Amino acid sequence: ESLPPSEGAMARDAIEVYIQKQPEDRQDVLRKLRATMLKHKPKGVQEQLCEGFPGLVVPHSVYPPGYHCDRSQPLPFASYCFTTKHLGLHLWLLYMDAEEKSWFEKEWKARGLRWDAGVCCVRVRDPELLPYDLVGKALRRRGVRQFIATYEGRFGAGPGKCGHRGGAGGKATGTKARATG
């Protein structure tokens, strides 16, 4: 699934503008991370700004209910941004699935890297050490259907409460994704 050509160009342009607004020493890291995510994203996921940050989403054309905190928004899949102290790597599957988070943390530490993470954000204090191969592998571990099933198992597909710490709860409702994976 992809955006119509004009919308795809707008998304690419908006992300490039975001990158160009960053300090020069961060731009190469952001471009490399972006290229890694685009290369390894599952079918049915598209690039766009997510709450003002570059990232990947499951569009409404694939998952009509959208994001439980704001149903007008597509379902977040992954995003990234710099703060004053770190590069934040937001991988939603890590937030929703303890087994995936445990796998990622183990792989991260096996590379000799310090694990510094929040609920779904991995804080990369030295972006030069970012393991791009691991990011790519994490993005490929589950297809869109599996991702949506995990999401619905955690938050449900109906109206939900937004609470990044506790989640909306609820059971999978059987909403069908339109992409393979």
Predicted confidence (pLDDT) per residue in 27-60, tens digit: 999 999 999 999 999 999 999 998 889 999 999 9
The pTM score is: 0.81
Distance between CA atoms of residues 34 and 127, nearest Å: 13
Distance between CA atoms of residues 45 and 33, nearest Å: 16
Laid out side by side, the sheet with 121-124 consists of: 46-50, 53-58, 75-82, 87-91, 121-124
Residue 167 tokens read as: 């989640």
pLDDT of residue 163: 55
For residues 77 and 45, the answer to whether their CB atoms sit within 8 Å is: yes
Strand partners, 76: 57
**Straight-line distance from the first to the last Cα atom of the chain, in angstroms, rounded to the nearest whole number:** 12
Residue ranges in the chain whose pLDDT is less than 70: 1-11, 157-181
Beta strands in the chain (DSSP E): 46-50, 53-58, 75-82, 87-91, 121-124
28-62 per-residue burial string, b: 16 or more CB within 10 A, e: under 16: ebbeebbebbeebbbebbbbbbbeeebbbbbbeeb
Q: Write the pLDDT tens digit of every residue in 62-76.
A: 999 999 888 899 999
User: 10 Å Cβ neighbour count for 167?
Assistant: 16
Strand partners, 46: 57
Residue 170 contacts by C-beta under 8 Å, 6 or more apart in sequence?
152, 155, 156, 157, 158, 160
pLDDT of residue 165: 39
For residues 37 and 56, the answer to whether their CB atoms sit within 8 Å is: yes
Strand partners, 121: 90
pLDDT of residue 169: 33
pLDDT of residue 162: 62
Q: For 67, what's the count of Cα atoms within 13 Å in the CB-facing half-sphere?
A: 19
